Amino acid sequence: MKRIFFLYFFISLCYGAYAQNSGVTFKSSDAALQTAFSRAKEMALSYKGKPADPVGPWYESALPPRSAFCMRDVAHQSIGGEILGLSKENKNMLRLFVNNISESKDWCSYWEINHLGKPAVEDYRNDKEFWYNLNANFDILNTGWKLYLWTGDEEYIKGAGFEHFYEKSVTDYIDRWVLQADSLLSRPTHPNAPVPFNIEDSFHRCRGLPSYSEGVPNIKMGVDLVGAIYRGLMSYASILELKGQRDRAKLFREKAARYQKSIDDLWWNDSVSRYNTFYSNDHKFGMEEGDTFLLWFDALKEGPRKEKTIQYLLSRDWNIENLSYFPLIMYQNGQIEKAYDYMLHLTNPTTSRREYPEVSFGVVKGFVEGLMGVEADARFNQVTTLYRGKKETIVELKDLPVLSTSISIKHEGNKVTTLTNNGKKKILWQPKFLDDKGKTITKKAVWVKPGSSLTLSKV
């Protein structure tokens, strides 16, 4: 009898531990939504590295056969990683990126690092021969700021390695690669390529590729890089402001504004009502990919041009990498039905290449930051919520890790929201709702004590 009781007690303990460590969960009156979240969560967590991997904690964020993580993909997947409890992985990967910046690589880092803790052989031979997209430094800078806002972890803004990477990226890196706002269309071709230069060698061609669009052979500048620099400088200004360096923050905001201004002054094509996306070494504008990143970096001013960019993105088919950004982008820009459709499409077992790691992490971001409208701001210990789904659907997010604590959120359609503080510190909750015309209603922020719930309605 004692044996049976002990066995029952042991199983109960194991089950309780599993229940407590199962991480964030999502429930909905819409069965399709609930299935989509479960699929995305399961797939994203399947990319978690092995405990014995020499690189330390990591998750797959590159082409899956490589067992590696690259700067662009980590930047895209990092908040999804925090949502899924992969904070140690994020910290380790970001540290490796920022700590490997060097003058010998012209203030680049390693674009891609594998599970052995080495620069991936597919992208790196030596400090003069390697693949690198110049957006990366600014994407990582912006990611560090976002991770601070989400977690409250000050290493992302005050750690020595991070500070060094950020400072070099907004100064020496811009100078070395001739990325000043007034030099974007006149910068020399491959300013830091090794000599002799061999155009047939992809490492030479892509050692400092000025875009995330990798299929343009004669590119001098990509509009997505302009957007990346703008957002990186804006994030750096916010970091400086938080440290009390207001004069320097003002300087970098002014620098950032010049890049944003150039997007409208130089890149808009009136004849097709769309932004050009690259400028060639033949001094001609052209159009390939890149529009998605103008929205990812929030580099466009509100108005007709931004709306036309969104409509263009919705009008054509894209590769899976681009589509992985769409759930969040479309929810944030009022395309609720389209965002919903992309969430289901990207988690459908029949969708081609849905196994690419960015996809499942992008869907998780779409659920939490998009559909549930969760934003975090560690400066004020504040969480904002804004339901963006169908009017009558009930959705509930439980055990969401944010601001070094845990919360649960339930939206009963667009009428009522409940926030539960599962942690041990109070949270400032900023509830928002959408009115019948899609405009945002901002309610008074309220403190939610540890272990308590608060319910607020739109009216």
In the chain, what are the domain boundaries?
52-316
The pLDDT of residue 5: 34
In this structure, which CATH number among 1.20.200.10, 1.10.8.60, 3.40.50.1100, 1.50.10.10 belongs to the domain 52-316?
A: 1.50.10.10
Strands 382-386 and 427-434: parallel
Q: How does pLDDT run across 381-431, given as a tens digit for each residue?
A: 999 999 999 989 999 999 999 999 999 999 999 999 999 999 999 999 999
Work out the average pLDDT over 39-43: 98
What single string gives the DSSP state of each residue in 157-185? Answer: HHSHHHHHHHHHHHTHHHHHTT--TTSTT
Residue ranges with strand state E in 272-403 = 274-275, 278-280, 285-286, 375-377, 382-386, 394-402
Lowest mean pLDDT among 53-57, 60-64, 368-372: 60-64
As a whole number of angstroms, the distance between CA 95 and CA 343 comes to: 31
pTM for the model stands at: 0.93
Mean pLDDT of 64-77: 95
Query: What rounded mean pLDDT belongs to the chain?
Result: 92
Residue 7 has pLDDT above 80, yes or no: no
| Count of H-run helices and E-run strands, the chain | 17, 21
Residue 267 near residue 258 (C-beta atoms within 8 A) = no
Summarised one tens digit per residue, pLDDT across range 362-395 is 999 999 999 999 999 999 999 999 999 998 999 9
The pLDDT of 204-221, averaged and rounded, is 87
Residue 230 predicted with pLDDT over 70: yes
What is the structure's pLDDT at 438?
A: 86
What would the pLDDT profile of 253-275 be if each residue is shown by its tens digit? Answer: 999 999 999 999 999 999 999 99
Q: Could you tell me the pLDDT band of residue 201, with boundaries at 50, 70 and 90?
A: low
Pairing mode of beta strands 124-126, 446-448: unpaired
**Residue 10 in this model has a pLDDT that exceeds 50:** no
* pLDDT for position 173: 98
Which pLDDT does position 188 carry in this prediction?
Answer: 87
CB 15 within 8 A of CB 7: no
Strands (E), 364-445: 375-377, 382-386, 394-402, 405-412, 416-421, 427-434, 440-442
Phi, psi of 213 (to 5 degrees): -85, 110
The predicted pLDDT at position 205 comes to 65
Mean pLDDT of 3-7: 36
The sign of the CA dihedral 96, 259, 206, 212 is positive
Confidence of residue 12 (pLDDT cuts 50, 70, 90): very low
CA distances from 385 to 297, 398, 419, 450 (A): 21, 14, 9, 18
pLDDT-derived band at 64 (thresholds 50, 70, 90) equals confident
